[in-house]
Amino acid sequence: MASTVPELALSPAVIAAMDGVRECLQFFTREKRWINERHLELCRIPAPTFQEQERAAYLARLLAELGHEAQIDRAGNAVAAVIYDRSAPFVALTAHMDTVLAPRTPGDIALRPGGILAGPGVADNGAGLAALLAIAKALKSNGPLRESTHNLLLVANVGEEGEGNLYGMRYLCQHSSYARRICAYLVLDGAATDHITTQALGSRRFEILVTGPGGHSWSDYGMVNPVHALARAIALFSDTPLPDGWRSSINVGTIEGGSSVNSIPGQARAKVDIRSESNRALDQIVAALEAAVQQGVEEENRRSSGASAACKLREIGARPAAELGPDSLLLACLRAVDGHLGIRSHLDRASTDANIPLALGREAVTIGAGGLGGGAHTPAEWFNPEGRDLGLKRIFLALAMLLHGAAPRLPLET
């Protein structure tokens, strides 16, 4: 059966004309300086994955100063609930705190001519966090959503990048006190307004460890060499045909082992990233990796004398593939807002915090927070706040629509 675009309770134009909403939309332009200053402050607080505590404390403190009841949950997420009806479900607005690279000193986050921020994490995800704070301040300054049918949950979460494996979002969706009451997730990640991520790119990540007795490169020649075994395994795996029907990728990102050029190493390790649009394809590629590692070690053992090499394959990350249905109310809200604001956006696929709620059957999308950015995950990362207010208006109008009756229903408990 063909899907239909759901009918929305209120249009963006009607929402934008409400008392208080109009003031909030003006606030984002009027308070550019305050938003930019908070953006600079938070990015100067290092927050590499697994070390977000100081940034979480800063955000929780600022949310409290803005008048919200903020707390840091057991995962380390900074959370503030905006309650309009204590029995109503929540819409979650989230932005991850962690960065791939971190500033070594506050001076590593620089303010360049034209107001451009430069340094690790200023766009990914300083832009999302600054937007979260701007929304929080606008709500308390103008109080425009008092007639909401839903509550709002503001979340600065941990563990989105790399081996964080989305653990902050996993906790929020599965173990937090709000987990069963969140009906929709609007995830802010990076800059821009040109995309809506509705498809979750799946991934699985592994560490390969090969061990042996080690020895001298000359006197112990012939003994198993873990680096050689690992190299054979990687070569075999890189030649693996990827499954047909889905776009997939494989990558060996790091290789380590040995202590000197004239020593047979006692161990070698590598980290592997596997991505696919399909969970079934991920499983097939993982099986190929397991076979390649086993074959590489067995071949090295056949060529060597004495003790054998051993191998261990440890999964260090798993992000499920999933996608939002075309009849989503959340997507309909964003499409309507984009039409109202004159934004031309496209749907895309990426690996973000939205992977988790989507895989659990909840409505979730990831969008940018406005402005422009580039150089993500490098020391040369930058963010230009020009046009940021359009992104903030987009976020706020979509939230207002969701909170005024357009949010999806909570799934029935089974």
Average pLDDT over residues 127-143: 91
The segment(s) of the chain belonging to CATH 3.30.70.360 are 207-319
Confirm if 181 and 362 have CB atoms less than 8 A apart: no
User: What's the pLDDT tens digit per position in 250-292?
Assistant: 999 999 999 999 999 999 999 999 999 999 999 999 999 999 9
Region 70-90 average pLDDT? 95
Residue 322 pLDDT > 70: yes
Interval 4-17: pLDDT, tens: 557 787 899 999 99
Q: Which residues, in sequence order, are CB contacts of 138 under 8 Å at separation 6+? A: 24, 27, 28, 31, 392, 396
Residue 144: both structure tokens together: 């425009």
Beta-strand pair 346-350/195-200: parallel
Give yes or no for residue 51 having a pLDDT over 70: yes
Given this model, what pLDDT does residue 413 score?
52
Contact 211, 267 (CB under 8 A): yes
Q: Is the pLDDT of residue 85 over 70?
A: yes
**Cis, peptide link before residue 125, omega less than 30° from 0:** yes
pTM for the full model? Answer: 0.93
Average pLDDT over residues 376-402: 96
The top-level CATH class assigned to 12-200+321-406 is alpha beta
Calpha distance 236→296 (Å, rounded): 7
User: Which whole number is the average pLDDT over 206-228?
Assistant: 97
pLDDT of residue 69 exceeding 70: yes
* Mean pLDDT, the chain, integer: 94
> In the chain, which residues fall in CATH 3.40.630.10?
12-200+321-406
- For residues 404 and 9, the model is more confident at 404
Looking at domain 207-319, its CATH class is: alpha beta
Question: Residues 351, 203: contact at Cβ < 8 Å?
Answer: yes
| Average pLDDT of the residues in 73-100 | 96
With left for phi above 0 and alpha for psi between -120 and 50, is residue 215 left, alpha or beta? left
Between these two residues, 411 and 30, which has the higher pLDDT value?
Answer: 30
Taking only the tens place, the pLDDT of each residue in 5-49 is 577 878 999 999 988 888 899 999 999 999 999 999 999 999 999
